[in-house]
């Protein structure tokens, strides 16, 4: 340190530009080019494998000296921008992804400009988050008295909900004593169609994956309620303590909705916590035409859903709503003297999100949600959801018409599963077909195993898709299917 005097260090250590003009110019260029990029998704392949040169670019030494922003932006355009997952593309339907919006990109900039830490305290971010939570309580049928929090996504939303469920239902002080003090084994119920983040949450919560009972499903992949009741009684008989049933609104594999109303009835009768995972499948509740799909969801004790999937808010953001605000606060509030609230000043504030989730420092995620809701309005967002449901029906009808294709499941919402009918070795040849389809860049469906059969899974949470895109998918599947069938005959 001796060689650098304090004045020099204050020049060297300052990170703001000395001249803002070039940064401003770069900013304008980036803005124009990225808006252009967003308008031209359909002109590019649905997916491009990152080439060796791009991958090699990320095997560089630690940069000890700085570089020009302009150079870095060029590297970004060459090695990064073209090789994203593909979920912004009109023919990408893998897993469940949202595709973002033009204004969503701009709002990310506003959020970054503010760069506020939305953990709590007296600041406007808290009021914005309370506002969007209030809107979703109303839209999804929760009382205004419920509490909630924006989180990174559905996985975290499930973890938050299940943590509150465990602490509220355990019958002993889990926070103080830990799971080792459990007098009885705690058990939860879901189905094999339930998203794996539920299992992961129970593992993290110290309950072990063996605490999760997988209740059989019926032919439509919905939880069998009689089996649920049997399992609860069996566990009680064996001295275990049932605490929670997880019902899914929109399963990942087929978009099935568990009989949520009946799960709620069972939870009332048996005094269990009802957690609902509605990562994408809660969203049809925004549409008066589709609302009945999720009946019973509004009776959940905790509800997890994503905003970056079917509402297309920029990654990442999900939400948990908790009916009992005290149970929510009790679970996550931990005393820390430097986080004590003050009667006034910046350390006051009406609601501390850090006391309602795992994170202390948090991005101001509410801003992008607020913008999206206000910009489009619920009616337009609902229309976009209705459009995808209709497209799923369109694709289903096309698959049913094609004698070379086999539909693998009913289409209750926005997920279509099908495969090519090969004479032999159908699982492997359909796998091969899927890889060819991805490599061709034509379309990006994912896959599912249903009743032991491997098939393509088209999960439609994409506001850019048009019916012609689904025809291109089916045409591609037929082309590669015939090609592979000929090679293997």
CB 46 → ligand PLP: shortest distance, Å? 20
Nearer to ligand PLP, 157 or 433 (CB): 157
Cα separations (Å) of 447 from 330, 431, 433?
Answer: 41, 9, 11
Contact 111, 363 (CB under 8 A): yes
**How far apart (Å, rounded) are the C-alpha atoms in residues 322 and 325?**
6
Question: Minimal distance in Å, beta carbon 128 to ligand PLP?
Answer: 21
Q: How many CA atoms lie within 13 A of 482 on its CB side?
A: 8
Question: For residues 190 and 433, which CB has a smaller minimum distance to ligand PLP in the complex?
Answer: 190
The two most distant CA atoms of the chain are separated, in Å, by: 81
Residues belonging to the chain: 489
The least CB distance from residue 125 to ligand PLP, in Å, is 21
Contacts with ligand PLP, residue ranges (CB under 6 A): 96, 153-155, 195, 197, 248, 250, 252, 277, 279-280, 306, 318
Q: How far is the CB of 381 from ligand PLP (least distance, A)?
A: 18
Torsion of CA 339, 318, 438, 384, to 10 degrees: -150
Nearest Cα to Cα of residue 41 among 382, 465, 404: 465
**Closer to ligand PLP by Cβ: residue 275 or 299:** 275
- What is the C-alpha separation between 481 and 487, in angstroms, rounded? 10
The residue number whose beta carbon is nearest to ligand PLP equals 154
Contacts (Cβ under 8 Å, ≥6 apart) of 466? 90
**Residue with smaller CB distance to ligand PLP, 252 or 429:** 252
Beta carbons of 267 and 232 less than 8 angstroms apart: no
Per DSSP, 51 falls in state P
Quick one: CA dihedral 135, 306, 286, 89, positive or negative? Answer: positive
Instruction: State which residue, 195 or 362, has the beta carbon closest to ligand PLP.
Output: 195
> Between residues 246 and 442, which has the closer beta carbon with respect to ligand PLP?
246
Cβ nearer to ligand PLP, comparing 251 with 331 = 251
Minimum CB separation of residue 275 from ligand PLP in Å reads 11
C-alpha dist (Å) from residue 99 to 123, 313, 434, 456: 30, 8, 22, 20
Q: Minimum CB separation from ligand PLP for residue 81, in Å? A: 23
CB of 470 to ligand PLP, least distance (A): 21
């Amino acid at each position: 340190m001796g060689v650098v005097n304090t004045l020099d260090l204050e020049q060297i250590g300052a990170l703001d530009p000395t001249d803002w003009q070039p940064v401003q110019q770069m900013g304008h260029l980036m803005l124009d080019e990225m808006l252009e990029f967003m308008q031209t998704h359909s002109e590019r392949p649905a997916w491009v494998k990152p080439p060796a040169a791009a991958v090699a670019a990320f095997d560089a030494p630690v940069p000890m000296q700085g570089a020009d922003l302009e150079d870095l932006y060029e590297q970004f355009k060459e090695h990064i921008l073209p090789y994203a997952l593909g979920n912004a593309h009109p023919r990408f339907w893998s897993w469940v992804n949202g595709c973002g919006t033009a204004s969503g990109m701009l709002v990310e900039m506003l959020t970054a400009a503010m760069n506020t830490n939305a953990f709590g305290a007296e600041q406007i971010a808290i009021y914005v988050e309370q506002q969007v939570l209030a809107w979703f309580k109303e839209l999804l049928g929760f009382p205004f008295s419920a509490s909630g929090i924006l989180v990174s996504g559905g996985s975290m939303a499930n973890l938050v909900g299940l943590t509150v469920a465990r602490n509220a239902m355990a019958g002993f002080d889990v926070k103080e004593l830990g799971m080792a003090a459990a007098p009885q084994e705690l058990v939860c119920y879901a189905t094999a169609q339930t998203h794996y983040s539920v299992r992961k949450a129970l593992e993290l919560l110290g309950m072990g994956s063996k605490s999760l009972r997988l209740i059989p499903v019926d032919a439509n992949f919905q939880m069998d309620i009689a089996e649920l009741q049997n399992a609860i009684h069996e566990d009680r008989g064996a001295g275990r303590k049932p605490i929670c049933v997880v019902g899914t609104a929109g399963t990942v594999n087929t978009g099935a909705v568990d009989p949520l109303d009946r799960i709620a009835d069972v939870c009332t009768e048996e005094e269990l916590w009802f957690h609902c995972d509605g990562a994408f499948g809660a969203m049809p509740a925004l549409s008066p035409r589709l609302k009945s799909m999720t009946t019973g969801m509004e009776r959940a004790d905790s509800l997890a859903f994503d905003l970056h999937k079917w509402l297309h808010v920029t990654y990442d953001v999900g939400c948990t709503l908790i009916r009992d605000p005290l149970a929510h606060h009790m679970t996550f509030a931990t005393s820390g003297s430097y986080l004590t609230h003050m009667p006034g000043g910046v350390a006051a504030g009406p609601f501390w999100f850090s006391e309602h989730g795992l994170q202390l420092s948090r991005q101001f995620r509410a801003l992008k949600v607020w913008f999206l809701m206000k910009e489009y309005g619920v009616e337009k967002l609902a229309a976009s959801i209705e459009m995808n449901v209709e497209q799923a029906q369109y694709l289903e009808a096309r698959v049913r018409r094609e004698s070379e294709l086999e539909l693998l499941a009913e289409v209750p919402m926005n997920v279509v599963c099908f495969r090519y009918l090969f004479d032999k070795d159908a699982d492997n040849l359909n796998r091969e077909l899927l890889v060819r389809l991805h490599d061709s860049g034509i379309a990006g469906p994912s896959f599912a195993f249903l009743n032991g059969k491997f098939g393509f899974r088209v999960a439609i949470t994409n506001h850019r898709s048009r019916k012609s895109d689904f025809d291109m998918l089916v045409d591609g599947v037929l082309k590669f299917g015939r090609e592979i069938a000929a090679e293997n005959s």
